[in-house]
Chains A and B, each alone.
Chain A
């Protein structure tokens, strides 16, 4: 069957390149994905990467332990700059998660076939990124064990509710909804593959673990029907979340009356930035993984190319946002707005602003070139730089808006301490740890979805509607 042209004209959307490598069939797809978690041999590279992640996680535990003992005073936050690394990192991580949701929800509704082989690990990335993000606001409260009543409305013994007019409480709901829907969506999408793993597993323990997780999936027509309905509902629920979560995050800033934050452009500009950084992170993960595990036939250059194009498109929106911020500041004719922008560009943190502009407006234009998009090594380096660029964006927005208050007497500089850096790099360690565990123990590509890309999976009209998946 391999000799068949696998993209018959008119059978799928017009694609200049296949989303599946040549010579594939059901068995090769399943085998190349399923053998990774089922193999009893752990690759040395995996051990190496996992240990790096674990080291970061240990550092995070130390940073959190010391923080809880000593309080937030160990951070560099001070009086005008009350929000610093903790909120920068929160927004950065939450933003990164957005690519996973976009891939699994919006691209699903638009029937984009190239989403299939990257959706699983992009969704995993979302969940792990949200977990990292959630740590920061909790720890920012200083006493996270009391945060339950600061954050969640429940009948507490103080007879008090959180302030529902505050965007901070909207944030709690936005992020917790996002985390819940993402986890449910991910697990539901895993069920058919977990059943495959159960059936292919040899050891008794693996059979039982995958068997319990597969929730009795037998692949009957009724199962598939329910699966399709559930996926569609969850995609429908997730789609608004792609836009709403970072909109609400941007309200944390835009709703406060502070030059540099109080701007109507924030929601769309934050959402675009989130998707931009999210795709940068997907590329950062996908490029080494496909090389290390030999998955180039499943995550093809078509995928890499498309993701680079999404990055370029969203980066252009973000760039427009930067231009508009500067324009608004000038056009407002408000001295504080103008001073804020002037200080942002030429003040003590001016270099961060221009570095950000260089990366997110300048460097990203390289993605117009096909040769850049098809050079995975260069693209990997660029995706790391874009992640730094988006981190810098949050640094610029938060620190340069805060450090020169309305009253010059309260102006101050913000310098992160070693604990700030340990927290930040520690969450990267947490993220890597979770991700390495994921690629070792869970099928990282949705095998059953990718199998539907094969010509033999296509239902032909003359066969009637009896064909299945």
Chain B
């Protein structure tokens, strides 16, 4: 009986075992990486807005406090998007004829709100509340990144659940004094390992078994 396969078939069949294992591992790895990539989470991507509003200029350059525009951040679930009137407070006086700001003036003239494109879009089954985070010493920067360095607003964090749980499981690694919540580029006065647990105690931040209860975020 003649041979069906050439001798090289032995080498190929052995190689195919490794190739199979390697391919499966590589596929698994690719899925792990891909599902956390900016492509999936849409993090770190500039999003076109009706007006090219620069936080870098207004926060970093001029030094306007977050709450000047996001007025409800300390008392409500939503931080609040300012009405056009807030812009006009200054821009009736400065840059009042800049072509860049024509949409703002048009909005004010016609009494139609500017339609900003939402950058941080959580799924509808997540009940996020800004006020409790601010009240317990979570800095704006902790989630939103250094806004004072952003010429256009972008999402800094993945907003995936594992990212939320990073802090809900270990709040002491992230809290800061309430006085520093709105600071950009905050550095802890002493090591976070010291002040973190002290702040958690002082602000009565619930233990991780409470903070990771499903219904804290999903109701």
Question: Are the C-beta atoms of B10 and A158 separated by less than 8 Å?
Answer: no
Q: Report the Cα distance A236→B14, complex, angstroms.
A: 27
Bound CA–CA A61/B158 (angstroms) = 38
Q: Does A199 contact B (CB under 8 A)?
A: yes
Name the residue of chain A whose CB is nearest to the CB of B168.
A159
Q: Does B161 contact A (CB under 8 A)?
A: yes
Q: Does A211 contact B (CB under 8 A)?
A: yes
Is B187 an interface position by the 8 A CB rule? Answer: no
Q: Which residues of A contact B161 (CB under 8 A)?
A: 157-160
**A199-B1, A208-B4, A211-B5 as given contacts; A159 in contact with B13, CB under 8 Å:** no
User: In the complex, A157 Cα to B43 Cα: how many Å?
Assistant: 14
Asked if B4 contacts A211 (CB within 8 A), the reply is yes
- Expressed in whole angstroms, the Cα–Cα distance for A284 and B158 within the complex equals 56
- Once the chains bind, are A215 and B1 in contact (CB under 8 Å)? no
A416 adjacent to chain B (CB < 8 Å): no
Chain B, residues 189-205, CB within 8 Å of chain A (1/0): the string is: 00000000000000000
Q: Which of B1, B4, B160, B166 has the most CB atoms of chain A within a 10 A radius of its CB?
A: B4
Contact with B along A139-157 (1 / 0, CB 8 A): 0000000000000000111
Please indicate the chain A residues that have their CB under 8 angstroms from the CB of B35 in the complex.
156-157
Q: Does A49 contact B (CB under 8 A)?
A: no
Interface bits B152-195 vs A (CB < 8 Å: 1, else 0): 00000010111001100000000000000000000000000000
Interface membership of chain B positions 1-19, coded 1 if the CB is closer than 8 angstroms to chain A and 0 otherwise: 1001100011001000000
Contact A207 B162 (CB under 8 A): no
Whether B21 sits at the interface, judged by CB under 8 Å, is no
- Across the interface, name the chain B residue whose C-beta is closest to A160: B161
Shortest CB–CB separation between residue A407 and chain B, in angstroms?
24
User: Which single residue of chain B is at the shortest CB-CB distance from A207?
Assistant: B4
Please name all residues of chain A whose beta carbon is closer than 8 Å to the beta carbon of B158 when the two chains form the complex.
Answer: 157
Set A157, A198, A211, A216: member contacting B162, Cβ < 8 A: A157
- Please tell me which one of the listed residues B4, B13, B165, B166 contacts residue A215 in the complex, with CB atoms under 8 A apart: B13
**Chain B positions within 8 Å of A199 at CB level:** 1
List A contacts of B162 (CB < 8 A).
156-159
A198-B4, A199-B1, A208-B4 in contact; A159/B10 too (CB < 8 A)?
no
Measured CA separation A157–B10 after assembly (Å)? 42
CA distance A156 to B161 in the complex (A): 9
Measured CA separation A199–B5 after assembly (Å): 13
Query: Would you give the shortest CB distance from A199 to chain B, in whole angstroms?
Result: 7
A159 to chain B, nearest CB (A): 3
A215 to B5, CA, bound (A): 11
Q: Say which size band chain A's interface belongs to.
A: 10 to 19
B95: min CB distance to chain A, Å = 42
Contacts of A160 in B (CB 8 A): 161, 165
* B13 adjacent to A216 (CB under 8 Å): yes
Are B36 and A216 interface neighbours, CB within 8 A?
no
Chain B residues with Cβ under 8 A from A158's Cβ? 160-162, 165
Q: With contacts A198-B4, A211-B4 known, is A157 near B36, CB below 8 A?
A: yes
Q: How far is the CA of A216 from the CA of B10 in the complex (A)?
A: 8
Question: What chain A residues lie within 8 Å of B165 (beta carbons)?
Answer: 158-160
Alpha-carbon gap, A310 to B70, bound state (A): 76
A156–B166 alpha-carbon span in the complex (Å): 13
**Which residues of B are found within 8 Å of A215, using beta-carbon distances?**
13
- Chain A residues positioned under 8 Å from B13 (CB to CB): 215-216
Closest residue of chain B to A201 (Cβ to Cβ) is: B4
B4 touches A159 (CB 8 A): no
Name the residue of chain A whose CB is nearest to the CB of B214. A160
Residues on A with C-beta less than 8 A from B5 are 211
| Docked pose: A215 CA to B32 CA in angstroms | 33
Q: Which residues of B contact A157 (CB under 8 A)?
A: 35-36, 158, 160-162
Contact mask for chain A residues 190-229; partner B; CB cutoff 8 A; 1 contact, 0 none = 0000000011000000011001000110000000000000
Contacts of A216 on B, CB cut-off 8 Å?
Answer: 9-10, 13
Cα A155 to Cα B36 with chains together (Å): 11
CA distance A216 to B158 in the complex (A): 50
- A211 contacts across to B, CB distance below 8 A: 4-5
**Cβ of B37 to closest chain A Cβ, rounded Å:** 11
Closest residue of chain A to B164 (Cβ to Cβ) is A159
Query: Which residues 134-165 of B have a CB within 8 angstroms of A?
Result: 158, 160-162, 165
How distant is B25 from chain A, measured CB to nearest CB, in Å? 13
How far is the CB of B4 from the nearest CB of chain A, in Å? 5
> Closest residue to A214 on the B side, CB-wise?
B4
Shortest CB distance A410–B (Å): 23
CB distance from A74 to the nearest CB of B (A): 24
A208 to B13, alpha carbons, bound, how many Å? 14
Do A155 and B166 have beta carbons less than 8 Å apart? no
In angstroms, how far is the closest chain B Cβ from the Cβ of A220? 14
A-side interface residues toward B, CB under 8 Å?
Answer: 155-160, 198-199, 207-208, 211, 215-216
Question: Which B residues have a C-beta under 8 Å from some C-beta of A?
Answer: 1, 4-5, 9-10, 13, 32, 35-36, 158, 160-162, 165-166
Sorted nearest first, the 5 A-B pairs with minimum C-beta distance are A159-B162, A158-B161, A157-B160, A159-B165, A211-B4
Other than the given A157-B160, A198-B4, 19 more pairs (CB < 8 A) read A157-B36, A157-B158, A157-B161, A157-B162, A158-B160, A158-B161, A158-B162, A158-B165, A159-B166, A160-B161, A199-B1, A207-B4, A208-B4, A211-B4, A211-B5, A215-B13, A216-B9, A216-B10, A216-B13
**14 sampled A-B residue pairs with Cβ under 8 A:** A156-B35, A157-B35, A157-B36, A157-B160, A157-B161, A157-B162, A158-B160, A160-B165, A198-B4, A199-B1, A207-B4, A208-B4, A211-B4, A216-B10
